[in-house]
Structure 1
Amino acid sequence: MKKLVSVLVGLLLIGSAQATEVAVVDFRAALLQSNIGQEAAKAPKQKVADMDARLKEEQATLQQLAEELKRDELTLSEEEFKKRRQGLAQRQQQIQVLAAKMQNEAKSIEQQLIKSLTPKGELALKAIIEEKKLDLVLNRQLSLYANQGVDITGELVKRINKDN
């Protein structure tokens, strides 16, 4: 009986001695931080900056119109005041719609950028997985805790830069 228990414990220890190699990576960040990601992001960043500047310009114009209405409130007829206030409300709604459109477009631009860089990132990640003989790679955002030693994001950035 003692021999049987010893054999079972021995088998369990042998099975647990085979450690699983685990790593975490922020794939999106690695793509965007790489040289090819930085270069590919220049045009989209400029487009987003242009959209942001346009939005700020529209908001400044709206603010100016609101200040003018407030200043002229006592000198305007009630009908003219209501008409201008309605115009301001419509303009504010238009700006909100414009902001939402721009936000969606910015997300779409980033998704397209990530999609175009993903194949190169995947090749670099596969090479790291093979070199380190990793059994499991998790997305860093999905892990509750990861020791810094298992985070391969920086290594992935270097590998993407080296390969491209």
Structure 2
Amino acid sequence: MKKLIIVIFTLCFINSVQATEVAVVDFRSALLQSNIGQEAAKEPKQKVAEMDARLKKEQEKLEASAKDLKRDELTLSEDEFNKRRQQLAEHQNQVRAMAANMQQQAKALEQQLIQSLTPKGEAALKSLIEERKLELVLNRQLSLYANADADITDELVKRINKDN
């Protein structure tokens, strides 16, 4: 009787232990590393580079104005000095606003890029899930630890490249 109970318990335990196929993926990274991602990112990267160049030019103007004000500080009347200092502060605020606006535009460009690539990436991921018979796929950024074998990001990049 004791052996029978042990056998039944063992069979129940074996049936309850199932290997769950789990993988992690950095979906955004896979999209951007893929050939279609690299190609699609060329125009947004160019726009961001142009925005950076404009911002740098404005920052250089601001620095030159600040140097000029410092140089002329002793020769200017108090009213003229305060007026130029106020203009410098306004220009500084404009440059900050310009930088913030450009940062928002760059983020929006990236989001548009990701949105346009997502359907192709999802199709490739779905076929990879079916092929590997995965039961759970987690975003790599949300996992505390994942074995290197569990990370399928590189496989996803290859699949996206293959399918597109």
TM more than 0.5? yes
Residue 48 of structure 1 is matched in structure 2 by 48
> In 1, Cα distance between the equivalents of 2:82 and 2:139?
55
Deviation at 1:5, TM superposition (A): 4.7
1:134 equivalenced with 2:134 (yes/no) = yes
> In 1, Cα distance between the equivalents of 2:118 and 2:110?
12
> In 2, Cα distance between the equivalents of 1:25 and 1:42?
24
> In 2, Cα distance between the equivalents of 1:90 and 1:155?
51
> In 1, Cα distance between the equivalents of 2:83 and 2:9?
87
> In 1, Cα distance between the equivalents of 2:14 and 2:161?
42
> In 2, Cα distance between the equivalents of 1:43 and 1:67?
36
| Aligned partner of residue 138 in structure 1, secondary structure | strand
User: Over residues 132-156 of structure 1, what are the superposed CA-to-partner deviations in whole Å (9 max), with x where a residue is unaligned?
Assistant: 0000000000000000011000000
| Aligned partner of residue 41 in structure 2, secondary structure | helix
Identity %: 69
1:14 equivalenced with 2:15 (yes/no) = yes
Structure 1: state its 5+ residue gaps. Answer: none
Aligned-residue Cα RMSD (Å) equals 1.0
Deviation at 1:93, TM superposition (A): 0.5
Work out the number of aligned pairs and report it: 163
Residue 106 of structure 1 is matched in structure 2 by 106
Structure 2: state its 5+ residue gaps. Answer: none
Deviation at 1:111, TM superposition (A): 0.3
Residue 38 of structure 1 is matched in structure 2 by 38
Q: TM-score of the superposition, structure 1-length normalised?
A: 0.97
Counterpart residue identity of residue 7, structure 2: S
